[in-house]
Structure 1
Amino acid sequence: MGRWWRPALLGALVVVAAAVALTVGVPPVAEVRAAVTGAGWAGPVLYAALYAGLSLTPVPATVLSVGAGVLFGWAVGVPVVMAGAFTGATIGFLLARHLGRAALDGVGGERLARLDSLLRHHGLVAVLVVRTVPVLPFAVVNMACGLSGLRTRDYLVGTAVGMLPAVTAFVGVGAYGTDPGSLPFLLSAGGLALLLVGGAVIARRRRLT
C-alpha cells in the first residue's frame, strides 16, 4: 500500500482535472476580457495564473494562447502565455515526478527501460521537438515527461525554448485575427502551419519505423 498511495493520488488528481475541464471548460472570451479589464495592471498576471491552472486539465492550451493575443495583443500576450504555460508545465511535471515516478521503477520490461535511459541522457532534444511541434496535448506531455527518467533541467530548458515558436504563432493569430490580410497575421498563420506540418511528418515517420 505504501508504494501505491502516491500514484493513486496522482490518478485522483487527473480525474478531478478532467472533471473540471468537462464541467467548466474555457471561460468565454467576453467574461475573461471583463475580468482582465477590471483587474487593471494585474490582468495579465491573473490570465497567466488562469493559464497555469487550466493547463493542468485537458483544456486545449492553444485556445488560451489565441485568447491571450485577442485580449492583450502580441507584445504582452507572448510573455503572459509563456509565464502561464511554463508554470503549468512545471507543476504538472513535478506532480507526476513525485507522485507517480517511483511506482514505474522496474515496470514495463526492457524496451521501456531503454526508452527511459534514452530520455535520461538525451531528453533535451526530445523535449525541444515535442514542445516545438504542438501536436500532443499539453497536459499529457507534462505528465509523461514527469513519469519518465527525463532530467528536470532538460525538461525545463527544453520546455522554455521549445514552446516559444508555437506560443508566438498562436498569440499572433489571436492578436491580428481581426485583420487576416495583414503581414503579422500571415506570418503567424504561416509559422503555425509549418509547425503543424512538421508534427504530421514526424508522426508519420514514427508510424513507419
Structure 2
Amino acid sequence: MLIGLAIALVNQVGTEQLRADVARFGIWAPVIVLLLRLTSIVIPVLPGTAYSILAGGLFGFAQGLLIIVIADFIACTSNFFIAKRYGRSFVKKLVGQKFMVKVDSLGQNYLERNVFLVTGLLMTGLFDFVCYAVGLTQMEWRKFTPALVLSIAIAKPPLVALGAGVFEGGRILLGLSLLGMFILAMITAWVKRKSD
C-alpha cells in the first residue's frame, strides 16, 4: 500500500519536479534516504521496502542501489551485533513484544546451523528480524557475513530497479525487476517449505 501511495505521489508531482526538489538537498539527499533506510531496519516496526524503491526512483538504479546496499549492510550488521552484545531483553525493547514472537520463531528454525536457510530468510521481508534472530544464536560473524552479502546482492537490485523502472518508465528495467521479484518469491517459498 505504501509503495502504491509513493508511486501515486510521484505521478501527481512528476518525476522531474521531485528530482529537482531532492537535488536541492545536494549531498544530503542520499544521506537522508540512507539514514531513513537504516532506521527502518534497526527499528523494524517501520516500513522499509519503500525506501529501496524510492532510492531507485530518485537517484537512478546505480546510485540508488549503492545507497541501499550500504544502508542494509550497516543496519543488518548492527542488528546482528546488538543482539549478540545486549541479548534478548534489549532486542525485545527495540522490536516490542508483538514482533519478538517473529524473532523467537525465526531463531527456533535452526538458523544457527543452516547458513543457506539464513541466506534465504535474509532475502525475505523479514530480513531485519532475521538479523536479530541470528544474533541471538551462536552463529559467528564470519558465517553471517557471507549470507548477508549474498542476500543483499540477490534481493536488493530488483527492488531498486523497480523504483528506477517505474519512475523512468523503463520497460526493460521494470520487466527485469518484476522477474527478480518473482524469483525472490520462489526462493522465499522454498525457504519456508524447508524450515517447516
TM-score by length of 2: 0.71
State the distance in 2 between where 1:59 and 1:102 align: 20
2:117–2:191 CA contact under 8 A, matched in 1: no
Distance 1:41 1:181, change over 3 A: closer
Distance 1:72 1:88, change over 3 A: same
Q: Percent identity?
A: 26
Count of aligned positions: 166
Distance 1:206 1:95, change over 3 A: closer
State the distance in 2 between where 1:144 and 1:158 align: 14
State the distance in 2 between where 1:192 and 1:71 align: 20
Which ranges of structure 1 fall in alignment gaps of 5 or more residues?
1-25, 104-111
Partner of 1:78: 65
Which residue of 70, 74, 92 maps to 1:87? 74
State the distance in 2 between where 1:39 and 1:181 align: 26
With 195-204 and 146-155 compared, the bigger mean Cα shift is at 195-204
Distance 1:163 1:45, change over 3 A: same
State the distance in 1 between where 2:116 and 2:68 align: 22
Is 1:125 matched with 2:110?
Answer: no
Q: 1:1-209 to 2 correspondence within 5 Å?
A: 36-57=22-43, 58-100=45-87, 119-120=111-112, 122-132=113-123, 134-135=124-125, 137-178=126-167, 182-207=171-196
State the distance in 2 between where 1:35 and 1:97 align: 41
Q: State the shift of 1:90 in Å.
A: 1.3
What is the RMSD of the two structures over their aligned residues, measured on CA atoms?
A: 3.0
State the distance in 2 between where 1:197 and 1:141 align: 18
Q: Cα deviation per residue 1:111-137 (whole Å; 9 max; x = unaligned)?
A: x9xx88x655x45433322223x24x2
State the distance in 2 between where 1:204 and 1:124 align: 16
Q: Which amino acid aligns with 2:33?
A: Y
1:127–1:162 CA contact under 8 A, matched in 2: no
State the distance in 2 between where 1:90 and 1:150 align: 13
Distance 1:37 1:56, change over 3 A: same
Q: State the shift of 1:89 in Å.
A: 0.8
State the distance in 2 between where 1:203 and 1:50 align: 29
State the distance in 1 between where 2:115 and 2:21 align: 38
1:36–1:44 CA contact under 8 A, matched in 2: no
2:33–2:51 CA contact under 8 A, matched in 1: no
State the distance in 2 between where 1:81 and 1:126 align: 23
Q: State the shift of 1:156 in Å.
A: 2.2
2:111–2:137 CA contact under 8 A, matched in 1: yes
Structure number, greater radius of gyration: 1
SS of alignment partner, residue 194 of structure 1:
helix
Q: Cα deviation per residue 1:6-49 (whole Å; 9 max; x = unaligned)?
A: xxxxxxxxxxxxxxxxxxxx9x888x968743320232123212
2:120–2:191 CA contact under 8 A, matched in 1: no
Distance 1:130 1:41, change over 3 A: same
Which ranges of structure 2 fall in alignment gaps of 5 or more residues?
1-5, 91-103
